[in-house]
Structure 1
Amino acid sequence: MDKKRLSWVDVTKGFLMILVVIGHYPGQLDFPLGKYIYWFHMPAFFILSGMFFKPVLEKGLSKQVIHKRFMQLIVPYLFFLVTITVIRYGMEIGSGNLDMSWYLNDIWTLVIGGRFARGAYGVFWFVTTLFFTFLFFLWMTKYFNRTKQIAILAVFYLIAHIESVFAMQVIGGAPDKASQTIPMIWNIDVALMAVVYFALGYYMKNIWMNITKPWLIAGLIGTVSAVSLDWFGIIDYHLSMKFLRYEHVVLDLIIPISMTLVFVGAFQWIASRMSLKWLQQIEKHSISIMYLHIFTDIVLNDYFNYGIIGFTAFGLIVPIVASIIIQKLVPHGRLFLGGFSPKKRKAAAKPVKLKEAEPQY
């Protein structure tokens, strides 16, 4: 795959990252933009991740692949977790909070993570969920054929919806509170849902790589229909992967897939005709943006009065500056931003007599 062909991937991810920032705006939006963003933006990330998944069938390679993903996902997770926490605690101590029980309770919440970690850590659930989604799918593709994989995915999908029904309807109340009544470290249970989207990225790779006109039209029909039905009050659809809110077994597939088809197809078309390097730059610093955009607002909103535009601008610019600083000034900064790449082992050179050496072609 050449860089020109894949530029749309970075552009799409950059756009999705902007939606992540907008989706965490603490104020009230004038129209249901937030709802529509949540319909597809997190499933789209899992779909795009699955598109680049490579099965590991050879013996002995699984540990290397898992180690690589751990270094790329969990090491940055821990780095930003510790960094934000140290700064937060410094701010708390500075404001006079010396209650040890508060700190112990906060640390316990951060250890559990997932949907229980709120505020500055509101997006941390995605990384741990993605890591376990990868492990689930790696296991499935290693030990089961395609038919059995689909059967396992169907079971996971149903279990995820049963869990959602229990949280949203049996327990009831606000989705964030209801989901927190189900104990689970690092939102591993959300991986049961996420792995389905991840698998769709992998199984439909040929389609995603080149969204043809029929697929784009199908996506448009699905998207326009869903938005229209919601706009006129015929349906009231919501999707929140973090808080186990999966409301419809069929629409939870149709709507995210349709909207992802539209945006991926649109950016493939646009990226083939013009340069969108600013979106590629956003994707380049996406790790820092993801972890720091909420914390940026927490720090700055006492000093600045801004709306959605200012929130989005600060949520992008400040983390990008932080990303550049981390890369240039922090030892192993690239590693903390997900830039780990395993060293290639050099093949042992065989001693060869110069006179008998074979010609090189």
Structure 2
Amino acid sequence: MAKKRLTWVDVTKGFLMILVVVGHYPGELDFPLSKYIYWFHMPAFFLLSGLFFKEVKTRAEAGESIRKRFMQLIVPYLFFLVLITAMRYGMELGYGNTDIQWYLNDLWTLVVGGRFVRGAYGVFWFVTALFAVFVMFTFMTRHFSRKVQIGLVAISYVIAHTESLFAQRVLDGGVVESAQQIPLPWNVDVALMALVYFAIGYYLKTFWMEISSKWLGAAAVAVAVCLALDAAGLFDYHLSMKFLRYDHFFLDLIIPVSCTIVVIGLFQRAAKRMPLKWLQFVEKHSISIMYLHIFADIVLNDFFNYGLIGFTAIGLVLPILVSVALEKFVPYGKILLGGFRPRKKPGSAAMVR
């Protein structure tokens, strides 16, 4: 029998996707909203992905599982990469750019991906890092005991912070420039840090499925204290997974996890009392929103003046329209939006989402 879909997961992901859009607002705000969003929103996505990870026992199952994730993650990645690039190049040609070397250099940057692509491709790093994490975790859980797995996750956390210290303290330039001096494609090194949040979601699955009031209260206090300390200038905490900025060995766990507990705990309770279908709707079209919200602003900001609300509305509405059009009018449109589902074997049960 098919199990009931977990509404709070969709609602939470929809909210987090809105934060992704808001976090890319290019204008100035009086309140450091983007900094606080970056404290937790990307770790939360990795954590929620880990929450629904399924172990495999055989090589064939591992291959099938990785193939499924490739179709769900990398196929949409490639589709939107080609789509945005074709539109960008059309605009460049319209502006009179016929420099072949410019296009070759740009294409090479797109192949490398990760933190090396900016602008319209600002979120692409997340998908390749997530796919790398999935492959790593599939290998770990298939070949090693739980104790060894946890040890590997801890080692991964230490290596990630060591790399961050090297980038920030040894290499020249600011956060972005120093990270780009480490020439790894697709941000695969970010998977070292992302693996930790993914594992927290997976190993603590029972905890996340129904966060108790006690833990919600404790996490809310921790978040409030951190916000107060930051506002008072007693510390200046930042987290930027894309550019390897991990500021504090302990706070990089405490702050993202505490914030995620608060968000999930609140939406678990809210989803029991109200439908929140609009957030479910946002989550349904989250792939298109993720890939297109920055590009939508790039195309329109020369013609319209708008603030944060207008930027967020454009970053949600236009990608949703594209998503609906792809689903309805383009062959295999759902697959291009990450909707690939392998054929179920006879007698198999539907899994919880």
SS in structure 2 opposite 1:3?
Answer: coil
Compute the displacement of 1:172 (Å): 4.4
Aligned-pair identity in percent equals 64
Unaligned runs of 5+ in 2: 348-353
Equivalent residue, structure 2, for 1:227: 227
Aligned partners of 1:105 and 1:82: how far apart in 2?
16
Aligned partners of 2:313 and 2:59: how far apart in 1?
47
Equivalent residue, structure 2, for 1:3: 4
TM-score by length of 2: 0.96
The answer to which of 226-235 and 32-41 deviates more is 226-235
Aligned ranges for residues 35-184 of structure 1 at < 5 Å?
35-184=35-184
SS in structure 2 opposite 1:306?
Answer: coil
SS in structure 1 opposite 2:42?
Answer: helix
Aligned partners of 1:241 and 1:131: how far apart in 2?
15
Aligned partners of 1:300 and 1:221: how far apart in 2?
41
Unaligned runs of 5+ in 1: 348-361
- What is the CA deviation profile of residues 253-304 of structure 1, one whole-angstrom value per residue up to 9, with x for unaligned ones? 0000000000000000111001100000000000000000000000000111
SS in structure 2 opposite 1:98?
Answer: coil
Aligned partners of 2:292 and 2:266: how far apart in 1?
28
The structure with the largest alpha-carbon Rg is: 1
The aligned amino acid for 2:27 is G
Aligned partners of 2:288 and 2:262: how far apart in 1?
27
Aligned pair count? 346
Compute the displacement of 1:38 (Å): 0.2
Equivalent residue, structure 2, for 1:359: none
2:197 counterpart of 1:197: yes
Aligned partners of 1:108 and 1:29: how far apart in 2?
34
Give the aligned CA root-mean-square deviation in angstroms: 1.1
- What is the CA deviation profile of residues 114-153 of structure 1, one whole-angstrom value per residue up to 9, with x for unaligned ones? 0001000000000000000001111111111111111111
Compute the displacement of 1:3 (Å): 3.4
Compute the displacement of 1:170 (Å): 1.4
Equivalent residue, structure 2, for 1:283: 283
Aligned ranges for residues 263-342 of structure 1 at < 5 Å?
263-342=263-342
The aligned amino acid for 1:3 is K
The answer to which of 54-63 and 43-52 deviates more is 54-63
Aligned partners of 1:27 and 1:271: how far apart in 2?
33
SS in structure 2 opposite 1:8?
Answer: helix
Assess, with a 3 A threshold, how the Cα gap between structure 1 residues 340 and 167 changes in structure 2: closer, same or farther: same
SS in structure 1 opposite 2:290?
Answer: helix
Equivalent residue, structure 2, for 1:355: none
Equivalent residue, structure 2, for 1:32: 32
SS in structure 2 opposite 1:272?
Answer: helix
Equivalent residue, structure 1, for 2:262: 262
Aligned partners of 2:346 and 2:41: how far apart in 1?
41
- What is the CA deviation profile of residues 168-194 of structure 1, one whole-angstrom value per residue up to 9, with x for unaligned ones? 121243211110011010000000000
Aligned partners of 1:189 and 1:225: how far apart in 2?
31
TM-score by length of 1: 0.94
Equivalent residue, structure 2, for 1:358: none
Higher relative contact order (CA 8 A, sep 6+): 2
